[in-house]
A and B are shown apart, each in its own frame.
Chain A
């Protein structure tokens, strides 16, 4: 009986751990792509600039900015995990830039009399997912980091403050 109880407790605990592992939002982020420093990364950056013109129109631009906001968020996550803080922050700033554009293009679409209700929902889901990822990163990174570049003056990276700002930007959309 004791064994059975233990097994039951273990099973309940296992299930509760599993439920923590599930994402709260149904929004799916992409797999990590190439990382800074590699040749494919340079190619991707070049394509990113070209695609900006291909994705004309407010809905298309919304799609384009969403795509890159997600891509750079994942890039930042991987780089934070590997302790590449300056590169991670750079990626996060790019993600912030594209994320801000997303909502700007939705405003533009609305001005053009396009129905943005579905896109707005998508943006809210995306922001929720971004917040989840950023909160997770925040728990795993140091508050500050002293970075000493090879050929310039060392400086301090306020990692958590930067992440907090990124979360705040996304919160504004989510709320």
Chain B
């Protein structure tokens, strides 16, 4: 991999980091360009489309280079570290305010010493974070594993808001790196590592928005890793921890029952990953029944698409990842979740995928 690429990619990541600060609300930090995104919606929407398009171009370029075998695993690691360093300092509430929920949930239990499943953040009237929280009137939605683990970034944040934002970002970043290591250990394929860890959706949702889904995925992969080592108790323990982060991995219970029952040498791991992909797609596609499809939920199954590593699945999930990131645009542009926004979100989610499916069908039929 030549230096020009690293320079270009590094510059792009730096600009993405700067771009994220356009979304800072003036009541959170007072910069000279605070609230820019809310006052210049058209410009920011166009910029966002450009950002994700360039991100995907880099991604496709890297995947093609890996397939040509002109990139080593060390190059991939260099790119991953570069991405981590630049995006660590990006503004996490660019697309989602979940990081504030994580911080306040940790405060409810570790500072106020209240049960976050009983007491809502809004009940602490003097809590300064309430000013810019968007879900203060909800009890904790996260599992006990997450709440227990969140004491690490909470304590290392020393009650300083900016520092706590950073510690939560570092915390999720470490799980992202851990997940990357596990994918490598499970597959020993550079392309599998890149397919997941360099996917712009995974990068944006994990390294910018700092969603805790990556923590759930890390423990789930630990479970797969240990079951392959025939350490079944450890595997079950990690699965249990994973389920108690965000509950979605409960859908993998049938797979683990099968794995515990079968002898290791009789297991076809490609089939296991394929079925896991199907099972983890279920909570994703069922999520509209609870609230809506959130782009970061795709991480639940994207990890398995990288493990399965089939051409058509990779192509479809790449298009789908792009579409899911487009879901942010109606809100960025209109600034509301009501009105036309929900319909446009559905449109942008499935239109590129349908278009690609038609293209693929025509290509296969007439090629």
Contact = CB atoms under 8 A, between A and B. Distances in A.
A57 B115 CA distance: 7
A57 B125 CA distance: 16
Chain A: interface size category: 10 to 19
A59 B125 contact: no
Contacts of B118: 54-55, 57, 59-60, 63
Contact of A58 (B114, B125, B126): B114
Interface string A78-104: 000000000000000000000000000
A49 to B, nearest CB: 16
Interface residues of B, number: 10
Contacts of A112: 112-113
Interface string B110-133: 001111001100011110000000
A57 B124 CA distance: 13
B43 to A, nearest CB: 41
Contacts of A119: 123
A154 B42 CA distance: 83
Interface in A113-151: 114-115, 117-119
Main secondary structure of the interface of B (DSSP, over half): loop
A56 interface: yes
A114 B115 contact: no
B119 A59 contact: yes
A118 B123 contact: yes
Q: Which of A54, A57, A58, A117 has the most C-beta atoms of chain B within 10 angstroms of its own C-beta?
A: A57
A44 to B, nearest CB: 18
Interface in A44-88: 54-60, 63
Contacts of A59: 112, 114, 118-119, 123
Main secondary structure of the interface of A (DSSP, over half): helix
Nearest to A118: B125
A55 B124 CA distance: 16
A57 B112 contact: yes
Q: Which of B114, B124, B125, B126 has the most C-beta atoms of chain A within 10 angstroms of its own C-beta?
A: B114
A119 B119 CA distance: 12
B125 A117 contact: yes
Interface in B218-242: none
Contacts of B115: 54-57, 60
A10 B204 CA distance: 70
A115 B124 contact: yes
B125 A56 contact: no
A57 B117 CA distance: 12
B120 to A, nearest CB: 10
Nearest to A51: B118
Contacts of B123: 59, 118-119
A37 B328 CA distance: 57
A119 B115 CA distance: 16
A63 B125 contact: no
Given A63-B118, A63-B119, A57 B113 contact: yes
13 contacts: A54-B118, A55-B115, A57-B112, A57-B114, A57-B119, A59-B112, A59-B114, A60-B115, A60-B119, A112-B113, A114-B112, A118-B123, A118-B125
Given A57-B118, A118-B123, 5 more contacts: A54-B118, A60-B118, A112-B113, A115-B125, A115-B126
